Amino acid sequence: MEKEVHSKRNYLDKYLFSIRSHGRYTFTLEELKTEFHLSSTALNQSLHRLKSKNEIAQIRKGFYAIIPPEYSQQGMLPIYFILDDLMKSLDKKYYLALLSASALYGAAHQQPMEFFVIVESPAPRSIKNKKLVINFLSRKNWQEGGIIQQKTNLGYINVSSPELTALDFFDYSDRFGINRIVSVLQELTQEMKPTTLTKAASRYSNTAAIQRLGYLLENVISEKKLADSLYTVISNRSCFIVPLSPKKEKKGEIDSRWKIIKNMKVESDI
C-alpha cells in the first residue's frame, strides 16, 4: 500500500506537469479524486508535500494553483491567471471590479495582492491570507451589460467597463470613502465615453449611485459631458434627495439639479 501511494505521488507530479503543459495553472481536489481514485486523506498528504515545497498554493478549500519557478518567491500566481477558473469551479457569474478594474485602466494605486470581485448573489466567502486577498461582493440584480472580457496570457477574465466601474464605486462607497473614489475618478474619466456611460446608467438600478456620480463629475471633476449623459437618465426616473456621503449626517445645502445634500467637503487624495 505504501509503495502504491508513493507511486501515486510521483504520478501526481506528472499529472500537474501535464496540466501546465496544456496552459492551465489550477486544479481541484475533486479532479484529482476522479483521476487517481485515492482517498481525500492520501491526496491531502501529497498536496501537503507539494505545498511545503512551494510548488502549489491552496486558494480555497478544494481549489489549488500550480506555482511555476518564476513565481516561487511570491508563492502565489497573479489573480489574472486563476480567477476565471476559480469562478467556474464555484459556478458563479463574476467580474473584476472597483479598484481592481480601475488599476487595469491605469486609474488606481491599490495595495498589492488585494482584489475586488463582484459576483452574482449570494457571494462566496472572501479569500484572505498572507499571499492573496480577494474580496467577493454580491450583486442581486445581475446584468451582463458593461462587463467586458479582458485578454490575459491564459485566456480571458471578466472586467467591469470604465463606466460600470465608476457607477459601482457608489454602490460600495462605504468601503472606500468619497474622497478616495474622486481620486480614482479623476483618472478613470479619461477612459469613459458619454454614450457608453448613458447605456451603463440606463441599466443601473441604483439611482442614488447615478446621482452621486453625476454630481461629482459636474461639480468636482469638471466632466460636464459625462455628467450630462447621466442627467438624461435620472431625468426620466423618480429621484429622492440623498446625501453625498451616506456615512455622514444628512445636513447641508441641496444641489437642486442632482438632488444631492452636500454634507461633506470633497478633497481628492491625489
Residue 2 identity: E
pLDDT score recorded for residue 185? 96
pLDDT recorded at residue 2:
47
Angstrom distance (rounded) from CA 152 to CA 150: 6
Q: Which CATH architecture has domain 79-261?
A: 2-Layer Sandwich (3.30)
Per-residue pLDDT, 112: 59
The count of other CB atoms within 10 Å of the CB of residue 258 is 25
> pTM of the predicted model, to two decimals?
0.91
The residue among 158, 233, 220 whose CA lies nearest residue 194 is 233
Q: What is the pLDDT of residue 227?
A: 98
Give 171's DSSP letter.
T
3-class state of residue 43 by DSSP? helix
Domain ranges of the chain: 2-71, 79-261
Q: How high is the pLDDT of residue 35?
A: 87
pLDDT averaged per 10 residues in sequence order, the chain, 270 residues: 52 87 91 85 88 93 93 90 95 96 84 85 93 93 90 88 97 92 96 97 96 98 97 95 94 96 84
Q: Domain 2-71's class?
A: mainly alpha
Show the 3-state SS of 94-117. Answer: EEECHHHHHHHCCCCCCCCCEEEE
**Ramachandran class of 154: left when φ > 0, alpha when ψ lies in -120 to 50, beta otherwise:** alpha
**pLDDT given at position 9:** 54
